[in-house]
Amino acid sequence: MNTVEQHKQEKHPLDVVDDVYDYADEELSFEEIEERAGGGEWERLKWAGMYAQKQEGYFMIRTKVPGGKLTPEQAEVIGEVTDDLAVAPEEYGGEEQNELWGDAYLDITTRQDIQKHWIRVEDVPEMWDRYDEVGLTTVQGCGDSARNVLGCPAAGLDDHECFNAQPVIEAVSDFFTENREYANLPRKFKITITGCAHDCAQSQINDVGLVPAKKEIDGESLYGFHARVGGGLSDGPRMGSELDVFIRPEDAVEFCRAVAQTFKELGDRNNRGVCRMRYLVEQMGAEKFEEAVRDRCTIDLPTGGQNLTVGYQSDHVGVHEQKQDGLNYVGFNVIAGRMGGDEFAEAARAAETYGTEDASVRLATDQNFLITHIPDENVDDLLAEPFAQEYSPDPGAFSRGAVGCTGNEFCNYAIIETKKRTKRWARELDDRIDVPDDIESIRMHMSGCSASCAQPQIADIGFRGETVKLEDEDGDDIVEGMDFGLGGSLGADNEFLDWVESAVPADAVIPALEQLFEAYSADRDDGEEFYEWCRGVDNGQLRSIMQGADAPVARGVAHGD
Ligand code: SF4
C-alpha cells in the first residue's frame, strides 16, 4: 500500500473538515498541525478543498461549481471572499505580490472550479460560513474522490442543445459530495455531463463522460445519455472509450455510482502513477469494464441508441442569442482564467443589474465566464461596464484561446511561470500576428510541468514547462523553456497534439510562432484550422519552419516523425 493510501486508512479523509475548525480556532501553525495529526494531514486536507501552497502557512482553496453555474449572489460572495481573505502578506509583496494582478485574485480553472490563494487556516471557517449562506462548498474540491462535475456553461440556453442536463449534473454532484462511501477512491474521479450536441464539456478526457443520445423504448422516443469512460490527460493521455449503454436522465446518478463502485473495487491502490481509472479501462478493455459496471448497477441499462453529439465547441466568448426570445448570454474572455476578486464581484452585480431574475454567472472549461439572461435592450449597458473592457467578449484570437495553469508562483510541481507568461504572450501575439479573418480562436495552453492542468494535449499549441540548458561563450546557463506541441483537438476529429519540439527556450517561442503562422497563412486551404494544418505537415518540417528555414511547405506527408 502506498503512503497516501495509508494516510487515508489512518483517518477517513472527510473527517478533516471538522478538524479544520479546531486548527483555525487554535490558530495552529503548519508544524503544530503536523504534530497533532501527522504528516498525512496535508493529503487529507485536500478533501476540504485545501492544498498547501508552496509558501508555508498558506493554502490554495478550490471551490466546486457544478456545471460552472452560479447565481449572481454566489458569484458576488466568491468575489468578496477573495477580496477579503485571499490577500498576500507583506513578506510576499502584499498588494504588489503579482505584477499583473496585485493580490486578492481568483483563478477560473479548466474544471469549472474557482481557486483562491493565500488563505490562512484561521480564515477558512469564515469562508465556509459565508459559503454556507449561499450554498457553496469546497468539500472534495481536491483529493481521491469525485471532483467537481462538469457541464456545458450554456446549459438551458443554446439552440443546439438536445436537453438541459444541469439538473442531472446537480443530482450527481449532490450524491457524491460528503458521501463517505465514495469519498475514498483509488484516485481522483472526474465526471462530465452534457445535453448539448456540441461537446464543450469534454467528455473524451474525463473518467466518465455522459453525452446526449436518443432511444426508442416501448414505442417512446426518449432522450438520455451515452457514456464514455477512461479518458484523461497528463502522463498517459487517453480518449474515453464508448460503452454500449443508454442512460435515462433519472438513472444517471445510479450509473455514475456503479462506475465509481467498479473503480473503488477494481482500481489499483498500490501504484499512484497508474491508478487513474483510465488505466483500469485500458487494462480491462471497454467491454469487460461495461460488464463490471452492469454487474454493479441496480438498474437494467438498455444498450446504446442514437448518438446526438455532432461537434466540439471550445468556447462561448461573445454575445449570443439564447433560445429564450429576446435574451442573450455574453461570454467574457479571462486570459489564463485569472481576475481580481473585486472584478468578479462587479461582474456578479452586473448580472443582477442587467439580467432577468434567472440571470447567472457561469464558468467555462476554457477559463472564461458567461453572464446569462440579458435582455436585448441591456446588452450595450452590460458591455459598457468597466470589467467588460478588461475581459472583453471580442478579444484577439490568441487571447481568446489562452489557457494557463497555476505555475511556479504557487504550485510545488511547476518548473516554469505560466499565468503572467500566458497573458503577456497572448496579448503580444495578438499584436504581432495577423491570423486569417475566419479564425476566431487559437487555443494556446500552457502547463508548468508534465501534468495537464492547462490541458495542453487538446490545444492547437500546447506547452509544458521544462528547464533548458544554454551554452554560450560565458558558460552554461539554465533558463525556463517548454516542450512545444502542435495539432490537438477534441470533437469528431479528436487527436492529442504531437510534441514537436522539446525544451525550447521561452525567448524563442514567439519568433517560432511568427514563422509558423506565416507559413500557415500562406499555405492553408480555405477554412483550414491551425491544428488541421499542423497535422498535415511533417514534424521535421514544422521544426524547420519554427527555426526560420524557408523551405516550401510539403503537404500530405504523414504526421509525426
Ligand atoms: Fe502545477 Fe503542473 Fe498542474 Fe501547472 S500543470 S498547476 S505546474 S501540477
Distance between first and last Cα of the chain? 40
> Rounded distance, CA 301 to CA 225, Å?
11
Among 51, 117, 406, the mutation site with the greatest number of ligand 1 atoms within 8 A of its Cβ is 406
Residue type, position 528, single letter: E
Going residue by residue through the chain, which has 561 residues, state the pLDDT in tens, using 9 for 90 and above.
678 888 988 899 999 999 999 999 999 999 999 999 988 999 999 999 999 999 999 999 999 999 999 999 999 999 999 999 999 999 999 999 999 999 999 999 999 999 999 999 999 999 999 999 999 999 999 999 999 999 999 999 998 899 999 999 999 999 999 999 999 999 999 999 999 999 888 999 999 999 999 999 999 999 999 999 999 998 789 999 999 999 999 999 999 999 999 999 999 888 888 889 999 999 999 999 999 999 999 999 999 999 999 877 779 999 999 999 999 999 999 999 999 999 999 999 999 999 999 999 999 999 999 999 999 999 999 999 999 999 999 999 999 999 999 999 999 999 999 999 999 999 999 999 999 999 999 999 999 999 989 999 999 999 999 999 887 766 678 899 999 999 999 988 889 999 999 999 999 999 999 999 999 999 999 999 999 999 999 999 999 999 986 555 555 443 434
Ligand 1 center to 297 CA (angstroms): 35
| Lining residues, ligand 1, CB within 6 Å | 405-407, 411, 413-414, 447-449, 451, 453-454
Ligand 1 center to 412 CA (angstroms): 8
| Ligand 1 atom with the shortest distance to the CA of 454 | 5
Extended beta strands in 422-486, E state: 444-447, 461-472, 475-486
> Rounded distance, CA 326 to CA 198, Å?
23
Whose CA is closest to atom 2 on ligand 1? Answer: 449
Among 46, 117, 142, 405, the mutation site with the greatest number of ligand 1 atoms within 8 A of its Cβ is 405
Q: From the CB of residue 34, how many other CB atoms can be counted at a distance below 10 Å? A: 14
Closest CA to 468 of 454, 450, 457, 482: 482
Beta bridge partners of 223: 214
Q: From the CB of residue 357, how many other CB atoms can be counted at a distance below 10 Å? A: 7
Whose CA is closest to atom 6 on ligand 1? Answer: 406
In whole angstroms, how far apart are CA 75 and each of 20, 78, 369?
A: 24, 5, 11
* HEC secondary structure over 169-196: HHHHHHHHCCCHHHCCCCCCECEEECCE
* HEC secondary structure over 282-334: HHHCHHHHHHHHHHHCCCCCCCCCEECCCECCCCCCEEEECCCCCEEEEEECC
Closest CA to 203 of 224, 168, 232, 243: 232
Which pLDDT score, from 0 to 100, does residue 477 have?
84
Which pLDDT score, from 0 to 100, does residue 411 have?
93
Residue that has been written with the C-alpha cell 554560450 in this structure: 472
| Ligand 1 atom with the shortest distance to the CA of 465 | 7
> Rounded distance, CA 398 to CA 99, Å?
21
Sequence-distant (6+) residues with CB within 8 A of 220 are none
In whole angstroms, how far apart are CA 475 and each of 357, 478, 482?
A: 65, 10, 21
* The three grid cell numbers given for residue 370, joined into one nine-digit string: 458567461
Ligand 1 center to 417 CA (angstroms): 10
Helix (H, G, I), strand (E, B) or coil at 5: helix
Ligand 1 center to 54 CA (angstroms): 12
| Ligand 1 atom with the shortest distance to the CA of 406 | 6
Longest Cα–Cα distance of the chain, Å, equals 79
> Rounded distance, CA 131 to CA 229, Å?
32
| Ligand 1 atom with the shortest distance to the CA of 414 | 7
> Rounded distance, CA 27 to CA 91, Å?
19
Which pLDDT score, from 0 to 100, does residue 559 have?
40
| Ligand 1 atom with the shortest distance to the CA of 447 | 5
Residues 212/214/215/216 CA torsion (nearest 10 deg)? 150
| Ligand 1 atom with the shortest distance to the CA of 416 | 7
Count how many Cα atoms sit within 13 Å of the Cα of residue 157 in the half-sphere of its side chain.
27
Ligand 1 center to 406 CA (angstroms): 6
Whose CA is closest to atom 3 on ligand 1? Answer: 453
Residue that has been written with the C-alpha cell 479546531 in this structure: 22
Ligand 1 center to 333 CA (angstroms): 22
| Ligand 1 atom with the shortest distance to the CA of 448 | 7
Whether 447 and 463 have beta carbons less than 8 Å apart is answered as yes
Whether 454 and 444 have beta carbons less than 8 Å apart is answered as no
Ligand 1 center to 464 CA (angstroms): 9
Ligand 1 center to 348 CA (angstroms): 28
* The three grid cell numbers given for residue 265, joined into one nine-digit string: 473495487
Handedness of CA 526, 158, 376, 369 (dihedral sign): negative
Q: What is the pTM of this model?
A: 0.95
Walk me through the domains of the chain, giving residue ranges and CATH numbers: 3-132 (3.90.480.20), 166-307 (3.30.413.10), 318-393 (3.90.480.10), 399-557 (3.30.413.10)
> Rounded distance, CA 44 to CA 50, Å?
9
Q: How many helices (H) and strands (E) does the chain have?
A: 18, 20
Among 54, 411, 420, 446, the mutation site with the greatest number of ligand 1 atoms within 8 A of its Cβ is 411
| Ligand 1 atom with the shortest distance to the CA of 464 | 5
| Ligand 1 atom with the shortest distance to the CA of 449 | 2
Helix (H, G, I), strand (E, B) or coil at 190: coil
Sequence-distant (6+) residues with CB within 8 A of 212 are 161, 162, 163, 165, 194, 195, 196, 197, 223, 224, 225, 226, 308, 309
Ligand 1 center to 226 CA (angstroms): 31
Whether 327 and 89 have beta carbons less than 8 Å apart is answered as no
Ligand 1 center to 423 CA (angstroms): 17
Eight-class DSSP state of 424:
H
Whether 56 and 103 have beta carbons less than 8 Å apart is answered as no
Phi and psi at residue 290, in whole multiples of 5°? -60, -40
Ligand 1 center to 67 CA (angstroms): 22
Ligand 1 center to 146 CA (angstroms): 20
DSSP string covering 17-84: HHHHHHHHHTT--HHHHHHHH-TTHHHHGGGGTEEE-SSTT-EEEEEB-GGGEE-HHHHHHHHHHHHH
